[in-house]
Structures are given as C-alpha cells and as structure tokens.
C-alpha cells in the first residue's frame, strides 16, 4: 500500500511540475509576442514593458491562445499597424518554440 501512495505522490508531483513549466513557457511566449508587437507599435521602453505584461495577463481570460491573439491583433489595428491575424498566429508559433528553447537553456 505504501508503494502505491508513493507512486501516487510522485505522479502528482510530476503533474504539478509539468503544469508549472507549461505556465512559465506560455508566459515567456506571450512576453516575446508582446515585445514583437510593442516594437511594431513603436512603444517606449516603459510602455513596452507594461504592454508585455498586459499580453501575459490577457492569456488568463480563457483557455488557449485566442484571447492573446485577439488582444494583440486589436492593439496593432488600433495603432495603425497593418498586420494580418495570420502573421500574429505565425509569430505565436515561432515564439512558442523559442520560449521552450529559452526555458530549457535556462534550466541547464
């Protein structure tokens, strides 16, 4: 019985660890996307920092990336940047890979 409980605790710890890492990678990805968008909007360093944080926070609205895409697309449109939604989606995919790479590099 003890082995089962140990195994169960181990699985729970692994799940929590994986979820935390997924959250950190997603936040880093959103921050990178926000940095890219801030550059297109010619924001100052202070505005860019605040914007990156707002993009990360936008991801808490619903599951998936649609909330982030809507925010960035809306902000870019409002700023007069002619960027298609498909380009934002492509950047999000690129930054997902980059965020994972950075995260793995930081862990070693």
Give the pLDDT confidence of 20-29 residue by residue, as tens digits.
888 999 999 9
Residue 69 has pLDDT above 90, yes or no: yes
Mean pLDDT value of segment 67-88: 97
Cα separation, 34 vs 37, in Å, equals 5
Residue 75 has pLDDT above 70, yes or no: yes
Q: Which band of pLDDT confidence, cut at 50, 70 and 90, is reported for residue 1?
A: low
Mean pLDDT of the chain: 91
CATH number of the domain located at residue range(s) 26-107 in this protein: 1.10.790.20
Q: Is 40 exposed, middle or buried (0-12, 13-18, 19+ CB in 10 A)?
A: middle
């Amino acid at each position: 019985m003890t082995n089962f409980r140990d195994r169960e605790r181990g699985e729970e710890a692994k799940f929590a660890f994986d979820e935390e890492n997924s959250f950190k990678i997603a936040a880093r990805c959103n921050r990178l996307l926000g940095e890219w968008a801030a550059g297109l909007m010619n924001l100052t360093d202070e505005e860019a920092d605040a914007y990156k944080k707002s993009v990360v926070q936008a991801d808490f609205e619903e599951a998936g990336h649609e909330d982030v895409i809507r925010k960035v697309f809306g902000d870019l449109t409002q700023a007069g940047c002619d960027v298609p939604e498909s380009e934002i989606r492509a950047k999000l995919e690129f930054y997902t890979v980059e965020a994972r790479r950075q995260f793995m590099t930081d862990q070693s």
